Each structure stands twice: as C-alpha cells, then as structure tokens.
Structure 1
Amino acid sequence: MATSNAIIKITNLRLRTFIGFNIEEREKMQDVVINIEIHYPASNAIKEDNVDEALNYKKITKAVIQHVEEGRFLLLEKLVADVLDISSQHPWVQYARVTIDKPHALRFADSVSLSLEYHQT
C-alpha cells in the first residue's frame, strides 16, 4: 500500500503569554491562538502499528505550551518562529506551518495573525 505523508494538525491551541512592545502589553498576559500543521512520512507507523514509528504530537504540544507560557515576546514574528522551530525539530518532519492569532490586537478586527513555514532541505 503506497502512502503519502501523515498530516498532523493541532488546532486552536489557546494559551496566554506576554506579547507586544507597548507598556500595557508587557505588563499583562494576552491570549494567543496557535495552529500547527506538521507533515511526516508515516509508512512504518501504518504498517507496524508501533508508537515508536509515529511522531509524538503530545510531546510537541507540551514543549510549545511551556515555551509560550513561560516566554516574553516583543514581536509576533519571534513567537511564531520559536513555535515553528519546536514543531519542526524532529528529523522526520518534512514540512511544518505555524499560524498564531493575537485576538483583539486591532480595534475593529477579530485578530491579527502571522504564519511561517518550514521545508526540509
């Protein structure tokens, strides 16, 4: 059976962190909503039904939570880049995309978001 990449999606992970460069943003935690997509080859996991052959998305999520909740970020770009780095650390990852929304960042908008992608070279 020919298989393509497995695609893991972590959807709407809601966390709080210090994000922004204005004084009030540096003093009060704000909500962020994180979406992560990770592609990796899953042929062995499918064939063997073996946990060791699958990417551990729980471990990735725990690392993201710890980093975001314990961190302080001036720029959304830095936060997204850090989460992308965590999401793409495993050598099996061929592609990853992270989008982070900052709700209520603009007065008349639901949120502002930024996305970055990783492609294995």
Structure 2
Amino acid sequence: MSGASVQRPLSRIRVKDLRLRTFVGFNDEEQRKRQDVVVNIHIDYDALSAARGDEVDEALDYKTITKQVIAHVEDNRFLLLEKLVNDLVELVMAHTAVRHTEVEVDKPHALRFADSVSLTMAASRD
C-alpha cells in the first residue's frame, strides 16, 4: 500500500430521539398546550485531529449544541414545524466546525392515523 493515500470521510455525530415539549402549531389547542416533539440531528465534522491526538479541545462539543437545542425548543413558540426545524439547522450551523447537518423533528400524533408527522432540513458549509 505504499504511496496510496487514504481518504477519510467526515465523522458523524447523531443525537437520537431527543424528546422535548413545546408549543408548535397554529390551531387553538396547539397554542394552549405544549406538545411532544422528537428531534434527531446528524452533524458531520472533521473529527480526525481529535481522534488521533485524543484531544478534547479538537472535538465538537455536542453537549453544548444539544443544550442549545433544548433551550430553543422549550423556550419558544412555533406556528410552523418548518420554522422550528429551520431554527435548529441554523443553531447547529452556527458552530464553525460543523460541515453538514440534517435535522428532523417529529410531531407525534399530529395526524389521526399516523404515528407522527416529521420535517427534515439540511445545510452544508463549502
């Protein structure tokens, strides 16, 4: 394998099934009562220097990002699921180490015969 270069794709952090409560929707009942939402976030970043050197300062602080997501969801009201998801994408992308993110928010029991309704948005940095 001499002379061959190895390409390493970005690393992916997944925050899975973050269960929160917020006001989301424009119907009267949705405006009066908090609803459950389930947030899933994929965050791609270059973790190689953190991994090779076991350097905490080089790693993406997903705990801080998750705390920001929790605060934003629980401390605000949203008429549209689109607004909520877009806000979370922008919040994650505000961290300069993030190269790509995909955020999905599920609204359980939004439709009578469905487990949930979800919306996904993504963003990438060049």
Deviation string, structure 1 residues 30-58 (Cα, Å, up to 9, x no partner) = 00000000000112101210111000000
Question: 1:17-96 residue pairs with structure 2 within 5 A?
Answer: 17-96=22-101
Distance 2:32 2:19 in 1: 19
How many corresponding residue pairs?
121
Alignment RMSD (CA, Å):
1.0
Tell me which amino acid in the other structure corresponds to 2:71.
Q
Shift >2 Å, 4+ stretches: 1-4
Distance 2:111 2:51 in 1: 45
Identity of aligned residues (%): 55
Gaps of 5+ in 1: none
Q: TM-score, normalising length from structure 2?
A: 0.93
* 2:99 is the alignment partner of 1:111: no
Deviation larger for 88-97 or 65-74:
88-97
Distance 1:46 1:73 in 2: 38
Tell me which amino acid in the other structure corresponds to 1:8.
I
Q: Kindly state the Cα deviation for residue 4 of structure 1 after the two structures are TM-superposed.
A: 2.3
Q: TM-score, normalising length from structure 1?
A: 0.96
Give the structure with higher Rg (CA): 2
